Amino acid sequence: MSTTASIGKSILSSIREKLDLPEYQKIHWEGSFEEYLDIVYQHPEVTRTAYQRLYDMILSHGTEEVYEFKEKITRFRFFTEYAARHGDAVFGIDKPLMQLVNAFKSAAKGYGTERRVLLLHGPVGSSKSTIARLLKRGLEDYSRTDQGMIFSFAWKNPDGSWTKDPMHGEPLQLIPNEHRAAFLAKLNENRKEDQYEVRIKGELCPFSRYLFNERLQKYNGDWVEMLQHEVKVYRLILSEKDRIGIGTFQPKDEKNQDSTELTGDINYRKIAEYGTDSDPRAFNFDGELNIANRGLVEFIEVLKLDVAFLYDLLGASQEHKIKPKKFAQTDIDEVILGHTNEPEYRRLQNNEFMEALRDRTVKIDIPYVTRLRDEIKIYEKDFNPERVKGKHIAPHTIEIAAMWAVLTRLEQPKHANLTLLQKMKLYNGKTLPGFTEDNIIELKREAPNEGMHGISPRYIQDKISNAIVAHPDEDCVNPFMVLHELEAGLRHHSLITNQETLQHYRELLQVVREEYEDIVKNEVQRAIAADEDALQRLCANYIDNVRAYTQREKVRNRYTGNYEDPDERLMRSVEEKIDIPEGRKDDFRREIMNYIGALALDGKKFDYKTNERLQKALELKLFEDQKDTIKLTSLVSNVVDKATQEKIDIVKARLIKNYGYSESSATDVLTFVASIFARGQTKK
């Protein structure tokens, strides 16, 4: 027993050594009103409005400028690096996020947006809730930093205890109106250009107003004396869990909705103590709009709110005031952020009674991701070797699922020679002959609603999860398992409401299957043709013949020693692999020789790897030559001789080493590609 106790003591001691007690004391600072004025003079930013604080919080994490199809976009590291540390990174929507932060910036500068409800609008699963959650988490953490300091105040009770202002009010609100101008003149003296100008906005809440007048009477009108003895200022730490400065409201069914959830309610137990329900001490200022003062309130599915609630929301946004029951209008300072989906927003547009809300709403579209590499990142966050224990996720499994998801969100291109798959590749940064950045910009302009419909990332995540658990005996999850789950789930998908959409999604699954076939055939081809020595020999042979052909010379046969005409059959067998037509062969051969000559002038030696097209042609040619010697198709018949098996094992080892396959997934993909060749579907 004593041994256990000593271990416990040891653990606690080691943890205690890591405690940062000075930091704890700093963020739980308490002091007099006079000391707070000193802080304000040195750090005027502590008096910032909620929008200013939120905007500064986002900027404090840094920014970077990126170019997307000739358009300069500011990327905020808050939504990438900070978010990633908390498992909530947002990918692929840099432009909508820039619009959101610009709205915060406009509100912070007082240009009018601070009097609006910011509405995140988009399809289900497009990260609206994630963005709101991130902003709340960011504000909480920011309030603990030196840059994000924020303060409130408490009243001294007759028994010596303290009662905090229920709405976490700004201490400067304790200064009477008639003296504020003189105070501000002093506090803003010698203010630097890059410093905030101290301003006092709003009045005390009814509770603090009552106590202020009561204590002022006690001190015969000497409010300075009263502040010294009856008020203390403390550092405010924003916290959603403690309902301090961060609020979240979720509508219930219309019969159970009550506006007191937003603006507070009477405390019936205290009516007996104070004699009337209009005494602010008998009122709970704990509605969501009350407790979110100085910070942010999130309205989940805001447009599901009853009309009576929306009236409260209108006053809160436009006037920065709320109306608690039985009390005068009360000032608030908070960011109001709502989110909703497309059907609810259409209902708002069609409801003439909602005209006032529409007029006070800044809508920011949050679409689905339309760039493949960003969609892949969403799933890699959840499905990676660290999270998925004991199961190997075969190469391209996540890529193929993401590819289908993105295709469902894209609109059919108007360009006759462009498929939906090619459009997706262009968006992903791939170059296609005949398409420039200007063409891609035009494609995006033609489809302004792209990303506002399609399959949700949640559906993909669910189906990848199903594929992982549905095959307990398999040590590997491959693309076909996931594609099967994706297709099987479509019949029961609650958001697919018509047969036409269902058929379109199934056709896209077939497009993705065919693309996967091409990808793995190419990988197996490259693995078979990855014999460096054989490639070098083939390249040297091809170059010797091209040189002789372009210079109208004979080429020496390496085996007989005789001089012969250039081997046209060999040269064409290489060139045909990259679709060089007969009429262009002379041009291509001259290009190669000019390229080699230019390298020689610079004192460099030619390496086929520096010419991507030639490398691909040589690999395909070598694959064609070696395919039959390896007898891949024998895998399908299960009759494999020893020599063939050794060659297959070499290819398998290359797949594992170079492409990330496991033993079983490499075997599966070789068998699959073998079945394709057995069907005679070799792609030239």
Q: Which two tokens stand for residue 580?
A: 């060089």
Instruction: Indicate if the pLDDT at residue 681 is higher than 90.
Output: no
Q: What angle do CA 522, 526, 528 make, to 5 degrees?
A: 120
pLDDT at 225: 94
What average pLDDT does range 311-324 have in this prediction?
86
pLDDT at 151: 97
pLDDT at 684: 40
The band of 406, judged by pLDDT with boundaries at 50, 70 and 90, is very high
Is residue 582 assigned to a domain? no
Predicted confidence (pLDDT) per residue in 127-180, tens digit: 999 999 999 999 999 999 999 999 999 999 999 999 999 999 999 999 999 999
Predicted confidence (pLDDT) per residue in 199-256, tens digit: 999 999 999 999 999 999 999 999 999 999 999 999 999 999 999 999 998 877 665 5
The band of 334, judged by pLDDT with boundaries at 50, 70 and 90, is very high
Instruction: Indicate if the pLDDT at residue 627 is higher than 70.
Output: no
Using a cut of 0.85, tell me whether the model's pTM lies above it: no
What secondary structure, in 3-state letters, does 452-495 show? CCCCCHHHHHHHHHHHHHCCCCCCEECHHHHHHHHHHHHCCCCC
Top pLDDT among 344 and 442 is at 442
pLDDT at 189: 87
Q: Are 102 and 346 in contact (CB under 8 A)?
A: no
**C-alpha count within 13 angstroms, C-beta hemisphere, residue 644:** 13
H-helix or E-strand spanning residue 614 = helix 612-630
Q: Are 201 and 294 in contact (CB under 8 A)?
A: no
3-state secondary structure of 234: strand
Average pLDDT, the chain: 86
Predicted confidence (pLDDT) per residue in 508-551, tens digit: 999 999 999 989 988 887 787 777 777 888 888 888 888 888 88
What average pLDDT does range 22-38 have in this prediction?
91
pLDDT at 528: 77
pLDDT at 97: 95
Q: Where are the alpha helices (DSSP H) in 420-567?
A: 420-427, 437-446, 457-469, 479-490, 499-528, 532-550
The band of 682, judged by pLDDT with boundaries at 50, 70 and 90, is very low
Number of structural domains (the chain) is 1
Is residue 469 assigned to a domain? yes
Q: Is 638 left (phi over 0), alpha (psi -120 to 50) or beta?
A: left
Is residue 175 assigned to a domain? no
Is residue 399 assigned to a domain? yes
pLDDT at 36: 96
Predicted confidence (pLDDT) per residue in 264-276, tens digit: 898 888 888 888 8
pLDDT at 1: 47
pLDDT at 255: 58
Is residue 382 assigned to a domain? yes
pLDDT at 533: 77
Q: Are 322 and 312 in contact (CB under 8 A)?
A: yes
List Cα–Cα distances, 512 to 164, 396, 424, 508, in angstroms.
Answer: 60, 11, 12, 6
Is residue 380 assigned to a domain? yes
A 10 A CB-CB count for 488 gives 12
CA distance 417 to 411: 15
A 10 A CB-CB count for 621 gives 22
3-state secondary structure of 80: coil
Q: Are 252 and 258 in contact (CB under 8 A)?
A: no
The residue range of the domain holding 392 is: 372-490
Is residue 464 assigned to a domain? yes
3-state secondary structure of 238: coil
Is residue 449 assigned to a domain? yes
Q: What angle do CA 453, 456, 460 make, to 5 degrees?
A: 145
pLDDT above 70: percentage of residues in the chain: 94
